[in-house]
């Protein structure tokens, strides 16, 4: 694992790798934009390259890797690494976005759901599979971000992508509605879509109520700092 330089005088132009703990309601691009602004302001630069190595949904928190300067050329190597998430799933309802970005649109029966059924359903998703991404996602469809089309009420078809889920641990079950999981998965996996699919496997419905990304490859959110901490450090 590459050492992250925590000295105040960093060489951002030559390139730094920054581990940021993203807050809720920030987009990944919001983080990039803010960090770029703080660096240019602090160093008196007109501009500097800053990019993120994999987006994280606005309602999710946790690890986002940023690269600056010449290190932006290494972004793809971080994007390809496996991810770890901690997720809370609400069983018995669905939303169009598969999370709390949109309102509940349907309610489902849950009286038939047992812990044994949940365990069987959850474990069935381990391995390689085709996953249909949410329409409320940053994927480009005909040159346009899918979430923009979804918010405008356009009908779009999302094509499945091959993903792999390496591990799923059930951390807590509170029947009939609450399920907490730890998930280790490949690039391109949508945990919101997994929540949808688990709901369907339970012959019910489900959506993602909370999500935190804890790891990307060997990098951990435990070693990350918030945007506010980064600003104070500068």
Task: Show which residues are catalytic.
Answer: 57
User: Could you tell me which of 192, 169, 164 has the C-alpha nearest to residue 94?
Assistant: 192
- CA separation for the pair 58, 151 (Å, rounded): 15
3-state helix/strand/coil string of 74-132: HHHHHHCCCEEEEEEEEECEECCCCCCCCCCCEECCCCCCCHHHHHHHHHCCCEEEEEC
Q: Which residues pair with 89 in a beta bridge?
A: 179, 208
Cβ-count burial 83-113 (b if 16+ within 10 Å, e if not)? bbbbbbbbbbbbbbbbbbbeeeeeebebeeb
CB 131 within 8 A of CB 189: yes
- CA separation for the pair 21, 210 (Å, rounded): 15
């Amino acid at each position: 694992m590459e050492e992250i330089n925590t000295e105040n005088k960093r060489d951002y132009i030559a390139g730094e790798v920054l581990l940021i703990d993203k807050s809720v309601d920030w987009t990944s691009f919001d983080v990039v934009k803010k960090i770029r602004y703080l660096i240019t302001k602090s160093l008196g630069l007109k501009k500097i390259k800053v990019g993120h190595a994999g987006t994280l949904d606005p309602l999710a928190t946790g690890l986002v890797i940023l690269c600056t300067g010449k290190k932006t050329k290494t972004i793809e190597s971080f994007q390809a690494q496996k991810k770890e998430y901690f997720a809370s799933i609400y069983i018995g309802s669905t939303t169009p976005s598969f999370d709390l970005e949109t309102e509940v649109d349907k309610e489902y029966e849950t009286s038939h759901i047992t812990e044994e059924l949940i365990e069987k359903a959850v474990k069935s998703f381990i391995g390689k599979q085709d996953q249909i991404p949410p329409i409320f996602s940053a994927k480009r469809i005909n040159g346009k971000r899918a979430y923009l089309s979804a918010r405008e009420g356009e009908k779009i078809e999302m094509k499945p992508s091959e993903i792999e889920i390496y591990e799923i641990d059930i951390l807590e079950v509170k029947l009939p509605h609450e399920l907490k999981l730890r998930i280790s998965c490949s690039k391109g996996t949508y945990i919101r879509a997994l929540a949808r699919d688990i709901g369907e496997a339970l012959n019910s419905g489900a959506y993602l109520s909370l999500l935190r990304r804890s790891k990307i490859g060997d990098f951990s959110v435990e070693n990350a700092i918030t945007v506010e901490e980064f600003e104070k450090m500068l």
